[in-house]
Structure 1
Amino acid sequence: MNAAEFFAAYDAFGERRAGGEGDAASATWLRDQAEAAGASARLVPVGFERFVPGEAWLSSGDHRIEGLPLFDGGTTDAGGVVGTLGPLGSAARIGFVEMHPQAASLPNNPFALARRESRHAAIVVALRTKPDSLAPLNAHDLAHPVGPPVLQVAGRDAPLLQRLAAGGAPAKLVAQGRRGAARSANVRAELPGEGPPLLLLTPRTSWWTSTAERGGGILAWLVALRALAAAPRRRAVVALASCGHELGHIGAHKAFAAEPELARDSALVIHLGANLGCAEAPRLVVRSNVDGLAERMEEALVAAGHRRGPIDAVTGGKAGGEAHEIEQRGGRYLSLIGENPWFHAPEDRWPDTVDLPRATAIAEAVAAFAREQAR
């Protein structure tokens, strides 16, 4: 299938949160696509404790704002938390803050630290992302929930909440949910050859449909896998599409716990991160902890038709997404991560949020770079 057909098929699965129906169906589809590309592919089950949200809202006077509990925070009973609403860090019983969902993309982010240190009995956070709908924060502490109950609400509710918090308005916050056993799966594909392997790594689950957020990376994963299967190569290839990105990278954690050498000793890990080819967001960060690789990837992107100007080629610094897992474990990585005005929003859907020529150019460049690394 061509790139447009890929995105249409990817988008059709709808919400693909780890443990849900869209997750299971899209995992089977991706395994079949990897096999069609010429690899030996299988699903690797991943068990985890899932949070199923319940009643979640804040009321103040005549106002009632519906939301979603933070998946790795505390919960309330039906009686909720009652008290004044004020800015985060104030003496109010319920704290309020607005932020971009990307601010919680890595473990021990500032908001997570604020939750641990908070004296608020509860917190409400308004997420600001296009078009100011409900764009949840990633749950890095899902296995060990921390801090007070947190209610996540749409960014469009921020102006009202700001006024209420500024006036110390009385409010009630309810954030309920239950936890239970769930299953997802990593998709693992292999091509034979000499070791240590080249590892293609991309996350495959997300809060909603997340077509531009996740689809571009998965397209590049498949295009590279197909190119590697068809071209002469010396090196073995492992392609891992991991589950649970939104829940603290649980699929990557399980995979690297079972095979530590995959992260630590692979010849190179090519991390295909978020937002590769998102509309209205041309910036692309290419980062590596190996001297010269980011610049070589930049040249491959330009040769494939990507404009040079928006490419930020960096050696060193802090790796993002699942590349962070590789960096922590001492592995060699090359990472591609873009930007997304609809980040974590349910409106991230095909075709509106995808820049098809850029997504195609990125996939072709990754394939060319991967072939070079596998020779």
Structure 2
Amino acid sequence: MSSAPDFFAAYDAFGERRAGSAGDRASARWLRDLAEQAGASAILLPTPFARLTPGPARLETAAGVLEGLPLFDGGLTGPEGLAGRLGPIGSASEIGVAEMHPGAASLPGAPFALARAQSRHHGLVIALRTRQDGLAPLNAHDQDRPFGPPVLQLAGHDAARLLALAAAGAPGRLVVQGARTPDVSDSVRAALPGGAPPLVLLTPRTSWWTSTAERAGGILAWLAALRALAGAKRARGVVALASCGHELGHFGARAAFAQEPELARDSHLVIHLGANLGAAEDARLTVRSNVEGLAPAMAARLAAAGYPAAAIAAETGGKANGEAHEIEQRGGHYLSLIGSNPWFHAPEDRWPHSIDVPHAEAIARAVMALALAEAG
């Protein structure tokens, strides 16, 4: 790409890139080709998974019908659905209701997953709140082993109506259907030769919708670092993994690390380029590492590259999020960047309004500088 705006426009043009979709497949080939143009040897890693194709998903009440999506790792109903009264989650109602942020299921074992496992409700309905209140699904960490009651996910603009129905104990009928079938998505693996242990660049590449601010900033930095490393004198080899299935339990990263466990466990460092790097209207950026001193050093690099220093939180240790969680679990060393995004998981996350180009470029410059230093 000749410029960051060109890159973001091209990324956005693929449209929805949910794992297994046409946009997913086309954008995987595109990214592989860009990695090769950057100077790396790049291949696709086909990864099988169980894909849920949503069917009818709605809540029927006397006041009207609310339509949405199934929870992708939850239970399903038959075509007849299930009937009962609505009430808040934790009440004695047959259908439990709540509103929440779409990041509420970012890690396995999140409170909502525990609530589902322990639920006495026959079904659940949740409204997800974001900017513009579009339908912003929760990640499905247990997509290969669905559990719990059927869950209907609604757009945030339905929240007030839903909560009013629950407060009144209104009766309703919940229908949550879908079909699970085998499918394949692709991670992109790019490599540069050199000594061991390698430096690893890791970023997710699939998502619920187009998700331009959520995913494209990380991919921009991934490509920029790969290009810089390809043209530099290096002591270390480099493996760059753009993994599929982020929204479905990180299945692409898990499969790649099952095939090459040393990448997560024994690499010199994994630079995790997570969600929302360069999102507009919210510059908050968390830099986290389990290597002492690395997070504050990266915060200084970001500030030097032009990122607003006051928006950066540098954390050592704690619980890693996103695919950095996969590295932490396997005992590897990581540095992770994760930002904030008013349109998180929502279909309204589109170029150009959801991207702050100068912030995304600053992150890419800082990642390049870190990668060159760690690979030297």
- Whether these two folds match at TM > 0.5 is yes
User: Residue in 2 aligned with 1:304?
Assistant: 305
User: Residue in 1 aligned with 2:364?
Assistant: 363
User: Residue in 2 aligned with 1:45?
Assistant: 46
Match runs of 1:22-171 below 5 Å? 22-171=23-172
User: Residue in 1 aligned with 2:247?
Assistant: 246
Q: CA deviation at 1:367?
A: 0.5
Q: Residue type of the partner of 1:102?
A: G
The one-character-per-residue Cα deviations of 1:196-236 (angstroms, maximum 9, x if unpaired) are 10000000000000000000000000000000001111110
In 1, the alpha carbon distance for the partners of 2:338 and 2:109 equals 20
Residue 291 (structure 2) pairs with residue 290 (structure 1): yes
In 1, the alpha carbon distance for the partners of 2:374 and 2:60 equals 56
User: Residue in 2 aligned with 1:212?
Assistant: 213
Q: Secondary structure at the match of 1:131?
A: helix
Q: CA deviation at 1:171?
A: 0.3
Q: Secondary structure at the match of 1:279?
A: coil
Q: Residue type of the partner of 2:316?
A: T
Q: Residue type of the partner of 1:345?
A: A
In 2, the alpha carbon distance for the partners of 1:158 and 1:299 equals 41
In 1, the alpha carbon distance for the partners of 2:265 and 2:111 equals 28
Q: Which runs of 4+ in 1 moved over 6 A?
A: none
TM-score by length of 1: 0.99
In 1, the alpha carbon distance for the partners of 2:144 and 2:63 equals 37
In 2, the alpha carbon distance for the partners of 1:199 and 1:125 equals 37
The one-character-per-residue Cα deviations of 1:266-307 (angstroms, maximum 9, x if unpaired) are 000000000000001111000000001111111111111111
Q: Residue type of the partner of 1:81?
A: L
In 1, the alpha carbon distance for the partners of 2:132 and 2:107 equals 23
Q: CA deviation at 1:62?
A: 3.1
In 1, the alpha carbon distance for the partners of 2:341 and 2:12 equals 16
Q: CA deviation at 1:63?
A: 1.1
In 2, the alpha carbon distance for the partners of 1:298 and 1:150 equals 40
In 2, the alpha carbon distance for the partners of 1:133 and 1:190 equals 38
Match runs of 1:311-330 below 5 Å? 311-330=312-331
In 2, the alpha carbon distance for the partners of 1:92 and 1:152 equals 18
What's the Cα RMSD here? 0.5
In 2, the alpha carbon distance for the partners of 1:211 and 1:39 equals 24
Q: Residue type of the partner of 1:139?
A: A
Q: Secondary structure at the match of 1:79?
A: coil
Residue 263 (structure 2) pairs with residue 262 (structure 1): yes
The one-character-per-residue Cα deviations of 1:10-46 (angstroms, maximum 9, x if unpaired) are 0000000001100000000000000000000000100
Which runs of 5 or more structure 1 residues have no equivalent in the other structure?
Answer: none
Q: Residue type of the partner of 1:277?
A: G
Q: CA deviation at 1:157?
A: 0.6
Q: Which moved more, 1:198-207 or 1:54-63?
A: 54-63
TM-score by length of 2: 0.99
In 2, the alpha carbon distance for the partners of 1:307 and 1:232 equals 31
Q: Secondary structure at the match of 1:309?
A: helix
Task: Figure out how many residues of one structure are paired with residues of the other and give that number.
Answer: 375
User: Residue in 2 aligned with 1:9?
Assistant: 10
Q: Secondary structure at the match of 1:345?
A: coil
In 2, the alpha carbon distance for the partners of 1:295 and 1:87 equals 43
In 2, the alpha carbon distance for the partners of 1:322 and 1:290 equals 17
In 2, the alpha carbon distance for the partners of 1:44 and 1:166 equals 49
In 2, the alpha carbon distance for the partners of 1:27 and 1:148 equals 34
Match runs of 1:193-212 below 5 Å? 193-212=194-213
User: Residue in 2 aligned with 1:225?
Assistant: 226
Which runs of 5 or more structure 2 residues have no equivalent in the other structure?
Answer: none
In 1, the alpha carbon distance for the partners of 2:160 and 2:348 equals 21
Q: CA deviation at 1:332?
A: 0.1
In 1, the alpha carbon distance for the partners of 2:192 and 2:314 equals 29
